[in-house]
Amino acid sequence: MGIEQISFQIISYAGDSFAKMVEALRKAKGGDFDASEKLMKEAKELLNMAHNVQTELLVAEAQGQKSEYSILMVHAQDTLMNSILAETLIQEMIDMYRAK
């Protein structure tokens, strides 16, 4: 699989994960914690899929298979990193809504 395809996989999984997390936060804000919890679970699964793709790439490079530089891959890594950070922050915000 080429670097472009790998990049698009990471972007897609991480981006979809982020969208579900935002939707989960909106559900929590409206008091629907069951829906919020379900969306966060789905988001985590997508985030894990993105992370698994990234891990495969890291393992391949550690084994000597160097990847070409790609601005698309930089964007993919940025999207993944932001989604990982958002997971922590959004979960904390949902917990605050739940504690109200």
Catalytic status, residue 51: no
Q: Which residue from 54, 44, 52, 55 is spatially nearest to 17, judged by alpha carbons?
A: 44
The residue that leads in pLDDT, 17 or 3, is 17
Which residues does the annotation place in the binding site? 78
Residue of 19, 35, 75, 77 with catalytic role: 75
* Structural domain spans, the chain: 3-99
Whether 97 has a pLDDT exceeding 90, the answer reads yes
Distances (CA, A) of 67 to 4, 91, 99: 11, 34, 46
CATH topology of domain 3-99: Methane Monooxygenase Hydroxylase; Chain G, domain 1 (1.20.58)
Q: What is the pLDDT of residues 36-87, one digit of tens each?
A: 999 999 999 999 999 999 999 999 889 999 888 789 999 999 999 999 999 9
In this prediction the pTM is 0.92
